[in-house]
Chain A
Amino acid sequence: MRKIREKIFEILIKMLTLFSVLILAFVVIFIFKESLTFFKEVSLLKFITGRRWNPLGPPEELSILNIIWGTVYVSLVAIAIALPIGIGTAVVLSCYTNRNVKRLIRGIVDILAGVPSVIYGFVGLLVVVKFFEVNLSLASGESVLSGGIVLSVMLLPFIVSTCDESMEKIYREYSQSSRALGVSKSYMIRNLLLPASKRSILASVVLALGRGMGETMAVMMVIGNASIIPRLLGKAQTIPSLIALEMGMAEVGSLHYHALIASGFVLMIMLLIINGLLYVIKNRMDI
């Protein structure tokens, strides 16, 4: 009797695990399948190198180069902003704080990570975009720069925690011997710790890039959603925003519909490449 119960439980657990693990396969397969329908009509090459996104036609043109570029551009801007701030904070965390202050700062960074992206978009729209409109008298404050600023706040936690982890280890290992040479802490950080952290900084950049490119709401609300060639102070469009905005209006089964899914597929491939990079970098880190 008991044996049967044990066996049933074991089988149940195994099946649930299998199901969970297959979900990823489902996701990938579905997206791929629906994209294929699109790629039969429009070649992949044309899709990602063409510049016109005009689903309503005529003529109906469905190419997302601008949008791919927009996705990457916004993330790069965000990283450019977040990186110095993130590294600076990580340095303070790993080298200048005791246990309690560390917990406080980490807590604050965690809070940042916990704020939903709509809230960031909301505040970004009302504060950042408005700021640009008022102070720089642009016709519209919605731009790649606005998107970058808002996104940078969201990427900060990733950069801080990745860098902090490895910097702490490096600091602990070398600070004593460095101090024994009579060298100041700041000197040691600038000339020893930071260069030694290059790899983990790179890893954090790649991680943040991946996260940034997948971000939807916050960016969508401040970037202007125009599928044109992105300029720093101009409007642009990202793949996630494109999907979120247009999926509702695309007729199910239409080419537009499949194009949107295909763009999701392209996004996933881009992320795959980036994560592959991350994996390679991580494995060449001796940590």
Chain B
Amino acid sequence: MREKLKDSVFKIWIGLSTSLVFIVVVYIFLYIFINGAGSINGEFLFSAPKGMPIGSEGGIFPAIVGSLLLMVIACAFASILAISTAIYLVFYCTSEKVKRLIHLIIQCMSGVPSIILGLFGYTLLVLHLGFGRSLISGGITLGVMIFPYIQVRVEKTLIEVDKAVITSSYALGVSKVYTLFKLIFPMCKFDIVSAITLAGGFAIGAAAPVILTAAVIFAPVPESIFSPVMALPFHLYILTGEGISLEKAYGTALVLMLILLVINIISVILNFTRKEHE
């Protein structure tokens, strides 16, 4: 009988836990979609913030542009480094010790809180190198943040290429570089792009690094890589924290979620295309 009681309590516990997880996710999405839907219209999406205090009227276009640009720069910066490192570890590095060391370093990097990276970006890029609060400071900082994410996935993709296929290529007398560019990359391109896309999603939602390195409360659409920008997460924070406009805040949150949704859908489509290709 004790056993029966314990069994029931146990089952209630695990059932409740799992349901709670579902409920929370659904709740968050519904909350934002329902409350934010009203604010989304052409003006909101395509015009700059107006009003007094600024942001209480008008739109969030510069923030959307700013966020997208930051994401692009971060992805470009991070991908070049991450893909190179993955290529090195899989195709050029022969020492197990070095591999383990580099893996350890990358794991440490993924554990650094984003605010610390922001701090680093602030002291090095904004101040020391004099870039100021700008697209490039924010982009590089975000790039450092997403670098481990991309590297790990690209490395996994490269390792999973059938070794026999690679050997066949070498057996034809073809060079490593040719094999990489003409055989391996075409095989892996979907996975690599998917990883970069998802990392971009990760970058676009991050506020902590951009608070210190790129974002300002109000800025126009950036003119150069050294201009400061508005960013969606930061804008959301300002609208809420300063109590400027709840309505616009909901709208901003919704736009951010929608962009993330699109990014994830793109990634899913890429995965599908890959399966088709095989």
Contacts and interface: CB of A to CB of B under 8 A. Distances in A.
Interface of A: 2, 5-6, 9-10, 12-14, 16-17, 19-21, 23-24, 26-27, 30-31, 34, 84-89, 91-92, 96, 105, 108-109, 111-112, 114-123, 125-127, 153, 156, 160, 184, 186-187, 189-190, 210, 213-217, 221, 240, 243-244, 247-248, 252, 260-261, 264, 267-268, 271, 275
Given A114-B260, A221-B240, A24 B113 contact: no
B158 to A, nearest CB: 12
B233 interface: yes
Interface string B226-240: 000000011011001
Interface residues of B, number: 75
A240 B113 contact: yes
Interface of B: 3, 6-7, 10-11, 13-18, 20-22, 24-25, 28, 31-32, 80-82, 84-85, 87-89, 92, 102, 105-106, 108-109, 111-120, 122-124, 127, 144, 147, 151, 175-177, 201-202, 204-208, 211-212, 233-234, 236-237, 240-241, 246, 249, 253, 256-257, 260, 264
Given A119-B256, A122-B240, A217-B233, A84 B17 contact: yes
B166 to A, nearest CB: 16
Given A127-B31, A216-B208, A247-B122, A221 B237 contact: yes
B181 to A, nearest CB: 9
Contacts of A260: 119
Given A17-B102, A26-B120, A240-B115, A88 B16 contact: yes
A91 B14 CA distance: 7
Contacts of B240: 121-122, 125-126, 221
Nearest to B233: A118
B115 to A, nearest CB: 4
Contacts of A244: 115, 118, 208, 211-212
Given A34-B123, A116-B233, 11 more contacts: A16-B81, A16-B85, A88-B13, A92-B14, A117-B205, A119-B205, A119-B253, A216-B207, A264-B116, A267-B113, A268-B116
Nearest to B21: A89
A88 B17 contact: yes
B206 A116 contact: yes
Contacts of B31: 123, 127
13 contacts: A9-B177, A13-B92, A27-B120, A89-B14, A92-B18, A109-B21, A111-B25, A115-B260, A116-B233, A122-B253, A186-B7, A217-B207, A271-B112
A23 B176 contact: no
A112 B21 contact: yes
Contacts of A119: 28, 32, 205, 236, 253, 256-257
What 8 A-B pairs are tightest by C-beta distance, nearest first?
Answer: A116-B205, A88-B17, A214-B113, A16-B84, A216-B208, A88-B14, A118-B233, A17-B88
B278 to A, nearest CB: 20
A112 B205 CA distance: 13
Contact of B21 (A14, A120, A156): A156
Contacts of B20: 85
Contact of B260 (A34, A88, A116, A186): A116
A10 B20 CA distance: 51
A244 B115 CA distance: 7
A247 B10 CA distance: 48
B100 to A, nearest CB: 13
Contacts of A6: 175-177
A27 B114 CA distance: 12
B212 to A, nearest CB: 6
A170 B204 CA distance: 38
B275 to A, nearest CB: 15
B11 A186 contact: yes
Contacts of B119: 31, 243, 247, 260-261, 264
A97 to B, nearest CB: 9
A112 B237 contact: no
